[in-house]
Structure 1
Amino acid sequence: MSDVVNPKAAELPRLSNAYQNWYRFSRNPTAVIGAVIVVLAILAAIFAPYITPYPQHAGAVVNFRFRHLPPSGTFWFGTDDVGRDIFTRVIFGLRVSLTLALVVLGTAVPFGTIMGLIAGYFDGWTETIIMRLTDVALAIPPLVMALAVAAVLSPDLTHSMLAIAALWWTWHTRLVYSMTRQIRSQEFIEAAETLGASKFHILFREILPNCISAIAVKTSLDCGFVILVGASLSFLGLGIQPPTPDLGTMVAAGSAFLPEHWWESMMPGFAILVLALGFNLLGDGLRDLYDVQEVK
């Protein structure tokens, strides 16, 4: 009699593991709070034109009759110096911050991961060149490099993303390099090499899956830092330019009217705080879930 494998039965262990992971994650209150903040921010950014009361205020709109109005039922976060609704501009500003984090990490993480895999698996000059280049890049503060690049190029979203991504890959290279050095001496790697598996197979089918959890945790934590660096560039006038709503630019513009009109600077600043906090809490929850140890 032939053995017949029930597909549904084969999926039970996988579903069980997924359920266990979700149960463990849901038992962490701070992780759940972080996940809720991140999800709400993403949904708000996607549906900004439909959930904001004055979507036209995301552009070059001037209404001096309503300038410097404090928070109220009509304008939840108050209005700025030209009468635009700050709540609307904060929601649209989330789009810029999340796009910045997505593009920067979407570029830096894959590149840094590949460099770390290559440097960790291969010895000799390949490892030396990659890791010495990484060490040099790590010695440069990311914000200083971003300021230099953004100052040379014209300030806009594209150049801000380029400036931040220029050095961000190094952290992931260092992380994946350390993990690859530990994993490559394991028995299953030696078995794959004995069976004649290609280098590509070993790197991306054997080693990389064992690094995914640490990469996910690092990426989640990095989202908050990228948003803060992007807001810092905008605050200094080297990021997104008006009238495009950007949280850092709004904080800088509102600081000229402190303390009388505190809401113009505090509300977008509070949005930056909550968004960065959400990603940090989510990253801490993922680290506890996967029991990831910090690798230096």
Structure 2
Amino acid sequence: MSSLMEEQVEVLSARRMAWLRFRANPVAVVGALMVASVILAAIFAPLITTFPDHVGAVIDFRNKNAAPDAVNWFGTDKVGRDVFSRVIFGFRVSLLLVLGVLAIAVPIGAGLGLLAGYFTGWVETLITGFTNVMLAIPPLVMALAVGNVLTPSLTNAMIAIALLWWTWHARLVYRVSKSVAAEDYVEAARLAGASHLHILFREILPNCIAVISVKTTLDAAFIILFGATLSFLGLGVQPPTPDLGTMVADGRQLLPELWWGVVAPGFAIFYATLGFNLLGDGLRDMFDVEV
């Protein structure tokens, strides 16, 4: 009984120390606040935007290309829609893309990495070999190829990005699980008759959660950029759905006079990616892991 209590105290102490390291890092705290603001803005977009109906196929030529003012904080676009409202709803589209890609890539990559790190022989060779082959393919080239084959949409953009995104998770989890699988307690569990599933998900996977958490946070920034790139090229989310990359592509046609059409969505992309990067760096320092 006492040993169990001591173990629980050690776990709580480790978690508290990790939290104190995170809280003592002002850059990480700023990143967390930035990410929280993006998420809250996306969730409550209909409540905080002045013109929530402007996310659709709304046309108001009387107010087209209006400069930023007290009513339209970020100005209006070429058909009179409020840019601020569309930027806030654009956060929602970007976060949906992040969730969709990670929901596909993380389980596949982590699962293959666990199998390759735990099992030896042909299983390890097959998974690592296939992963290395996929890593040799430039992600943007693959995404462009898939985007040209499939009808451009949010769902197909998720598929296009996720097709190669799992590879980094597979390689990362493989490296960690390979090291953990060689530990004495894993060998003890094996000798005690524990099943492969028990060892994989109760002994090895918990030791991979920290690196997976850091990796997914950093990935969110890259996925937002990647999705904006696809939309900028016309292979992502299609109008009239508000997407930050599409808004930049539309606004660049009116530069330099109507600068707000590019600056507003461009800054939104920068803000979201910077926040996730700062948060990821803070989590990396908190967990003291290498990604």
Q: TM-score range by the shorter chain?
A: over 0.9
Number of residues of Structure 1 aligned to a counterpart in Structure 2: 291
Partner of 1:21: 18
Q: Establish whether residue 71 from structure 1 lines up as the match of residue 68 from structure 2.
A: yes
Percent of aligned positions that are identical: 60
| CA displacement, residues 6-34 of structure 1 (integer Å, 9 cap, x when unaligned) | 99x99665554443322221111111111
Q: State the TM-score, normalizing by the size of structure 2.
A: 0.96
Partner of 1:163: 160
CA separation in 1, counterparts of 2:92 and 2:159? 17
CA separation in 1, counterparts of 2:211 and 2:2? 37
Alignment of 1:1-296 (within 5 A): 14-294=11-291
Q: How far is 1:141 from its partner?
A: 1.1
CA separation in 2, counterparts of 1:4 and 1:193? 26
Distance 1:144 1:44, change over 3 A: same
Q: How far is 1:62 from its partner?
A: 0.6
CA separation in 2, counterparts of 1:131 and 1:4? 44
| CA displacement, residues 226-271 of structure 1 (integer Å, 9 cap, x when unaligned) | 1110000000000111100000000000000000001101110110
CA separation in 2, counterparts of 1:62 and 1:206? 58
Q: How far is 1:65 from its partner?
A: 1.1
Distance 1:291 1:11, change over 3 A: closer
Gaps of 5+ in 1: none
| CA displacement, residues 269-289 of structure 1 (integer Å, 9 cap, x when unaligned) | 110011001000000000001
Q: State the TM-score, normalizing by the size of structure 1.
A: 0.94
Q: How far is 1:4 from its partner?
A: 9.8
Q: Output the amino acid matched with 1:230.
A: G
CA separation in 2, counterparts of 1:11 and 1:187? 21
Q: How far is 1:183 from its partner?
A: 1.2
Distance 1:20 1:193, change over 3 A: same
| RMSD between superposed Cα atoms in Å | 1.8
CA separation in 1, counterparts of 2:158 and 2:152? 10
Q: How far is 1:50 from its partner?
A: 0.7
Distance 1:6 1:172, change over 3 A: closer
CA separation in 1, counterparts of 2:236 and 2:7? 51
CA separation in 1, counterparts of 2:101 and 2:174? 20
CA separation in 1, counterparts of 2:265 and 2:150? 26
CA separation in 1, counterparts of 2:64 and 2:139? 37
